[in-house]
A and B are shown apart, each in its own frame.
Chain A
């Protein structure tokens, strides 16, 4: 499937900002199932300094600085991608018991899985605790296959937690999400990661987008999509497998990956420091458009239910 993704972030300031420096994590990385044909970051006003680097997890980060006074900052990321579906994403992970993957991550041979170990320990926003292993435990009876166990955990998060935008913010701690059983995609992804790590498994936070489909007969609204997040578990030789607890599905063609990290703080789309500015307002718009490839592929879509 071919997509054109446009992600616009706009800051409006009540007073001029004299200097700002930002780091954007908005350009999609390549994955075994995703090719990035082109991607571009447009910053207005024009930055004095713009450079890209690859971080420790292989994500594409863009640094920029604006050194002239400005009342508005607009960052536009446009990407053209091809996403292919893995026909049997869970096949190999169905063959392996979850304990045997856990065992590979400890002891003398753990260093064979060095890439995964970064995602096994506590990270800035996610700390392992009894609370999470108690919750996750029901999905992990002895010798169950890893894929089945994690799929079950995903499903339970989907049913037990209420999607409630406006209830949580970026700063809401995970323990509160756990108590109130409410949150948005970011919280559910964090929750999945916390549960898996508390069970001794390596899990990472994936940030990206999802193509949304409108109810039949409605027009697709441009720019009404939103960024999305889910989690991924390390399955040993089978590599990493994604799970989307917000939608209770294993991502395939409709999920577009931008970056992954230990948690949100590693891959927040845009962060930085601005001097001055007074009060500010932020507008974010995301548009995930399926590229028409000949036939009637341009289904319209509008809902913003997935974030």
Chain B
């Protein structure tokens, strides 16, 4: 098995430099893979896929007619991120999430940023994620968004850019943890030799952060993970995280509000709940406050929350800041609250509600990526260079009818990684979703995160709901040495 004949085709490659030499830190991996006997890598790839299926690491694609779960496709060659690069990313993400939290707190309270005219009021007040019932809320520590998954991409210039902020219920971290455990089994010796920063302590850090949110005076906080149920596309993750943290997994029907406090029905009667890690949309949480037709919610939850009797992570209403229209203003938001320049840049964005921008977008639909501001998961978008004339005409019509709901970005030459295709390697586009925990005292960024791969040749859409796959992401230590996560259960030496 060799990388001979692998062609970067002019794209930025995460593993090879333009001359075809391994990038620093990747040489060890390349050498080991090249040394493998013929068909050995395929054998290990198959073994990894079988393990995924057996472990039940699956994903539900909503438009998929048979409604069955698929395994989340996994590629066996890890992506490598160098320590120096990671330091910048980590700093940039901390800066960004701090500023976005200031923004959310401000728009639901003093609205200074609107008074000062930094972000157009219309965009905020008419944003899909703006929740009127959240006005005046004061979450503990002023933190609204405790768990974030920010999508980064690397452009042809080798720079990282923020593509999207996911501030509601970002998913995917369970795949990071499972991918890691699979990789340790598949490449134990390379893993040990590469000095990879650990991810396996994520569940305990998450639990610690959640416990820190408990109302004052609670000594042994009771934490639960709230799932919409088994038909949710991320149900695997909900159960996985609950199990890893050792806390109950609940549905709406397991909770009720009694005397102003949130209680959980158990076989031993009602038990008080202090912190809810909710993986259910704002709209479905409390039928009394939000959507009256929600069958998944807990009536009275918002009243208990606003009285400070229970903590919610994330707080309701955070969606106002990950609206793709607001995204265009995040650099301004960072400058406004932190008086700093953004460390990680946005992808240049055309806002269709600005006349000049709209004109440009309509004239260049074949070159741009157009996104509906309130959709996620790769739904409702147009990738210009890969679209037909009819699709472009349809989007032009939609943009003219509703300019507020569309943005456009240049089609980025996303960086690529080698992916195993049958008996050889081919380049595929990737993004990176690191996870950020914002606790009362500190911000933690999980080293690495989910690397999503557009498995279809040439495709730029990496979303798992659109058939993307994933890879393990190895963030190397600055000093070298062996990986802190031990792989003592070596099964297959390398």
The reply to whether A273 and B260 form a contact with Cβ atoms under 8 Å apart is no
B135, B256, B288, B292: most-surrounded residue (chain A CB, <10 A): B288
Task: Tell whether B491 is near chain A: CB-to-CB under 8 Å.
Answer: no
Task: Tell whether B67 is near chain A: CB-to-CB under 8 Å.
Answer: no
B136: A residues at CB distance < 8 A? 54, 56
The reply to whether A111 and B258 form a contact with Cβ atoms under 8 Å apart is no
A residues 258-294 touching B (CB-CB < 8 Å) = 262, 266, 271-273
**With A21-B300, A53-B306, A273-B288 as contacts: A111 and B115 at CB distance below 8 Å:** yes
Nearest CB of chain A from residue B103's CB, rounded to whole Å: 15
Stretch at the interface among A112-120, A225-233, A245-253: A112-120
Nearest CB of chain B from residue A3's CB, rounded to whole Å: 30
CB-nearest residue of chain A to B134: A56
Nearest CB of chain A from residue B175's CB, rounded to whole Å: 36
CB-nearest residue of chain A to B294: A273
**With A53-B306, A108-B117, A117-B125 as contacts: A19 and B292 at CB distance below 8 Å:** no
B residues 101-149 touching A (CB-CB < 8 Å) = 111, 114-117, 120-122, 125-126, 132-133, 135-136
The reply to whether A48 and B299 form a contact with Cβ atoms under 8 Å apart is no
A49, A51, A266: most-surrounded residue (chain B CB, <10 A): A49
CB-nearest residue of chain B to A274: B299
CB-nearest residue of chain A to B307: A51
Task: Tell whether B257 is near chain A: CB-to-CB under 8 Å.
Answer: yes
Nearest CB of chain A from residue B188's CB, rounded to whole Å: 54
Task: Tell whether A99 is near chain B: CB-to-CB under 8 Å.
Answer: no
B306: A residues at CB distance < 8 A? 53
CB-nearest residue of chain B to A119: B125
CA distance A117 to B300 in the complex (A): 29
The reply to whether A21 and B117 form a contact with Cβ atoms under 8 Å apart is no
The reply to whether A65 and B126 form a contact with Cβ atoms under 8 Å apart is no
Task: Tell whether A63 is near chain B: CB-to-CB under 8 Å.
Answer: yes
The reply to whether B288 and A117 form a contact with Cβ atoms under 8 Å apart is no
The reply to whether B132 and A266 form a contact with Cβ atoms under 8 Å apart is yes
The reply to whether A117 and B122 form a contact with Cβ atoms under 8 Å apart is yes
Task: Tell whether A15 is near chain B: CB-to-CB under 8 Å.
Answer: no
Nearest CB of chain A from residue B422's CB, rounded to whole Å: 52
Task: Tell whether A72 is near chain B: CB-to-CB under 8 Å.
Answer: no
B257: A residues at CB distance < 8 A? 21, 65
CB-nearest residue of chain A to B111: A114
Task: Tell whether A158 is near chain B: CB-to-CB under 8 Å.
Answer: no
A23: B residues at CB distance < 8 A? 288-289
B120: A residues at CB distance < 8 A? 110
- Interface residues of A, dominant DSSP: mixed
The reply to whether A110 and B121 form a contact with Cβ atoms under 8 Å apart is yes
A109: B residues at CB distance < 8 A? 117
CA distance A109 to B115 in the complex (A): 9
B116: A residues at CB distance < 8 A? 111
Task: Tell whether B229 is near chain A: CB-to-CB under 8 Å.
Answer: no
CA distance A76 to B121 in the complex (A): 39
B117: A residues at CB distance < 8 A? 108-111
A111: B residues at CB distance < 8 A? 114-117, 121
Task: Tell whether B303 is near chain A: CB-to-CB under 8 Å.
Answer: yes
**With A114-B114, A114-B115, A120-B122 as contacts: A273 and B299 at CB distance below 8 Å:** yes
CB-contact partner of A51 in B122, B126, B303, under 8 A: B303
Task: Tell whether B63 is near chain A: CB-to-CB under 8 Å.
Answer: no
CB-nearest residue of chain A to B120: A110
Nearest CB of chain A from residue B355's CB, rounded to whole Å: 13
The reply to whether B121 and A117 form a contact with Cβ atoms under 8 Å apart is yes
Q: Can you spell out 24 A-B residue pairs with CB atoms less than 8 angstroms apart? A: A21-B299, A21-B300, A23-B288, A49-B259, A54-B136, A55-B133, A56-B132, A56-B133, A56-B135, A63-B300, A65-B300, A108-B117, A110-B117, A110-B122, A111-B114, A114-B114, A114-B121, A117-B125, A118-B125, A122-B126, A271-B288, A272-B299, A273-B288, A273-B299
Interface residues of B (CB under 8 A from A): 111, 114-117, 120-122, 125-126, 132-133, 135-136, 256-260, 287-289, 292, 299-300, 303, 306-307
Interface residues of A (CB under 8 A from B): 19, 21-23, 48-49, 51, 53-56, 63, 65, 67, 108-111, 114, 117-118, 120-122, 262, 266, 271-273
Q: 10 shortest A-B CB distances, which residue pairs? A: A56-B135, A273-B299, A121-B126, A21-B300, A21-B299, A117-B121, A63-B303, A49-B260, A111-B115, A111-B117
Q: 17 extra interchain contacts, Cβ-Cβ under 8 A, other than A51-B260, A117-B121?
A: A21-B288, A21-B299, A22-B288, A48-B259, A49-B260, A53-B306, A54-B136, A56-B132, A67-B259, A111-B115, A111-B116, A114-B111, A114-B114, A117-B114, A118-B125, A272-B288, A273-B300
